[in-house]
């Protein structure tokens, strides 16, 4: 998502944010924005998740062959409350190895689901148990981290909602999973992945756009209702930008964490991986109205979902929209040199004919997995240059040397945007994924709080698959 200049003008630096302290032992630079550690309350929530080929009813009633978690697309929404421990007994019944990555969740490194880096690939027939206690409430998602351009495209994704210890009294909570599908004349998923076309462009963009697997998603509401809508973009490459069709909607969370104040959803580019939580209020006199939520990113407006208002009005719950209590400004760090600079580009070669690179290197997935299988202690991809100090503030610079889009995602941490093309930006929120446009340079600041080797990659899955991935070593 990108905060557009108009909205950026309205940004206000939160007075006192810099001096606000966190709990003892928490890094000062973070200003107590979010906790360093999880606080498990002893409750363990156990989920069974199976990945397997499945047949689902597509929107027009046709059957569609997919790969699915627990037989549905989207997969299950796993819901826990902050403090509870998530235990997922995962079984792989796919015809290929896989893993689950918990996108945006600050998990211990061994639970991150990166094959060859944090765990061996889970082979067909095998079971692996993921267990972690989320440190943050918010909207997260999970997906394979192996051949993800194929596995996610075939339907493997689910949502993880971590509720606040005391959830706000919204009348209802809705999850909207945004996706697109490339279907052939036979109505099935086009089985050619990582094509030259996908690689030369912004990944695989489909010919059918769906919300929760439906082209005609409708939400029936009563006048006066107040809802929390959790949006997740699980598409391989497509970016979404919402037109709310007159709905009163405010962004209250980005990539899981609350924003410092409510924001206009129209200003956000929702790139693959991004989440956006909306606080939506239906006016008491809106009975009979239909609102059409549209996508207006780089295309004529296309409808995403309809909100239909009917029935007797209900009392609107009155409460201040939830916001982040603290947000460091980091506006004093413009001149701090980047600790890591990641140049994004492409070259000919590699298994797909085109390789996307970070600092001229294409990540070799097979080598990483092979190294782990053979017990190599350290995959050679990590060098001293890729180290980030644990608990200290660092600047990362992404330099897009190409003309394509790259939503850059970092595992295991949140970052805050500092500048675009050298122009300071003070977004009043953290992210885990930031969209870079053609030839753009983006600076972000972060305080890594979990040791380990973490992925940095483009979330356009074809770019990642062909090499646009690297590791940072937090220690």
User: Which residues would be at the binding site for Cu ion (CB under 5 A)?
Assistant: 406, 458, 460, 463
Residue 347, φ and ψ in degrees, nearest 5: -150, 165
Taking CB under 6 A as the criterion, the residue among 411, 416, 431, 453 binding ligand C2O is: 411
273 binds ligand C2O, rule: CB under 6 A = yes
Smallest distance, Å, CB 171 to ligand C2O? 30
Q: Is residue 426 within 8 Å of residue 327, measured between CB atoms?
A: no
The Cα–Cα gap between 328 and 326 comes to 7
Residue 365, φ and ψ in degrees, nearest 5: -60, -45
Nearest to 136 by CA among 109, 164, 112: 164
Taking CB under 6 A as the criterion, the residue among 204, 406, 409, 416 binding ligand C2O is: 409
Smallest distance, Å, CB 354 to Cu ion? 12
- Select 204 or 406, whichever has its Cβ closest to Cu ion: 406
| Interface characters, 110-129, with ligand C2O (x: CB under 6 A) | --------------------
| Interface characters, 423-442, with ligand C2O (x: CB under 6 A) | --------------------
User: What residue 406 binds from ligand C2O, Cu ion, none (CB within 5 to 8 A, per partner kind)?
Assistant: Cu ion
The Cα–Cα gap between 217 and 56 comes to 16
Task: Report how far apart the first and last C-alpha atoms of the chain are (Å, whole number).
Answer: 29
Smallest distance, Å, CB 408 to Cu ion? 8
User: What residue 409 binds from Cu ion, ligand C2O, none (CB within 5 to 8 A, per partner kind)?
Assistant: ligand C2O
101 binds ligand C2O, rule: CB under 6 A = yes
The Cα–Cα gap between 465 and 46 comes to 31
Q: List the interface residues with ligand C2O, window 131-190 (CB under 6 A).
A: 143, 145
> Which stretches within 74-204 are classed as H helix?
148-151, 196-200
Token digits of residue 454: 């973490």
Strands 290-295 and 242-243: antiparallel
103 binds ligand C2O, rule: CB under 6 A = yes
Q: List the interface residues with ligand C2O, window 446-475 (CB under 6 A).
A: 455, 457, 459
Token digits of residue 368: 């990483």
Tell me the DSSP string of 385-417.
GGEE-TTS-EEEEEEE-SSS-EEEEETT--EEE
Smallest distance, Å, CB 410 to ligand C2O? 9
Q: Which residues bind ligand C2O (CB under 6 A)?
A: 101, 103, 143, 145, 273, 409, 411, 455, 457, 459
């Amino acid at each position: 998502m990108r905060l557009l200049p108009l909205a950026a003008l309205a940004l206000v630096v939160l007075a006192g944010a810099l001096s606000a302290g966190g709990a003892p032992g928490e890094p000062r630079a973070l200003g107590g924005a979010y906790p360093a550690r999880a606080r498990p309350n002893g409750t363990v929530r156990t989920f069974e998740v199976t990945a397997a080929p499945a047949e689902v009813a597509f929107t027009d009633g046709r059957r569609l062959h997919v790969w699915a978690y627990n037989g549905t697309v989207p997969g299950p929404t796993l819901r826990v409350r902050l403090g509870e421990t998530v235990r997922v007994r995962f079984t792989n019944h796919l015809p290929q190895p896989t893993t689950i990555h918990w996108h945006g969740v600050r998990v211990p490194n061994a639970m991150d689901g990166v094959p060859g880096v944090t765990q061996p690939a889970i082979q067909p027939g095998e079971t692996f148990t993921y267990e972690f206690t989320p440190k943050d409430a918010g909207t997260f998602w999970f997906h394979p981290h192996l051949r993800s351009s194929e596995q996610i495209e075939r339907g493997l994704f689910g949502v993880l909602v971590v509720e606040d210890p005391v959830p706000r009294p919204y009348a209802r909570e809705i999850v909207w999973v945004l996706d697109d599908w490339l279907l052939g004349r036979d109505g099935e998923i086009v089985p050619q992945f990582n094509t030259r076309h996908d690689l030369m462009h912004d990944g695989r963009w489909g010919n059918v756009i769906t919300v929760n697997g439906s082209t005609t998603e409708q939400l029936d509401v009563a006048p006066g209702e107040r809802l929390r809508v959790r949006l997740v973009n699980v598409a391989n490459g497509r970016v979404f930008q919402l037109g709310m069709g007159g709905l009163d909607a405010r962004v209250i969370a980005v990539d899981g964490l609350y924003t410092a104040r409510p924001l206009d959803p129209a200003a956000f580019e929702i790139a693959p991986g991004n989440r956006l939580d909306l606080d939506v209020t239906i006016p008491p006199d809106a009975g009979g109205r239909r609102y059409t939520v549209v996508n207006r990113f780089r295309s004529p407006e296309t409808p995403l979902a309809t909100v239909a208002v009917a029935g007797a009005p209900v009392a609107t719950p009155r409460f201040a929209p939830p916001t982040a209590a603290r947000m460091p400004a980091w506006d004093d760090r413009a001149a701090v040199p980047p600790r890591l600079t990641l140049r994004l580009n492409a070259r000919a070669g590699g298994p797909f004919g085109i390789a996307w690179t970070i600092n001229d290197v294409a990540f070799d997935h097979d080598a990483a997995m092979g190294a782990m299988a053979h017990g190599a202690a350290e995959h050679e991809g990590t060098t001293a240059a890729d180290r980030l100090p644990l608990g200290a503030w660092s600047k990362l610079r992404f330099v897009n040397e190409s003309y394509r889009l790259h939503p850059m995602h970092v595992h295991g941490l949140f970052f805050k945007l500092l500048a675009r093309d050298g122009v300071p930006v003070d977004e009043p929120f953290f992210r885990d994924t930031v969209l870079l446009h053609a030839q753009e340079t983006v600076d972000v600041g972060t305080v890594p709080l979990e040791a380990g080797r973490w992925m940095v990659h483009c979330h356009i899955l074809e770019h990642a698959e062909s090499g646009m991935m690297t590791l940072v070593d937090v220690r």
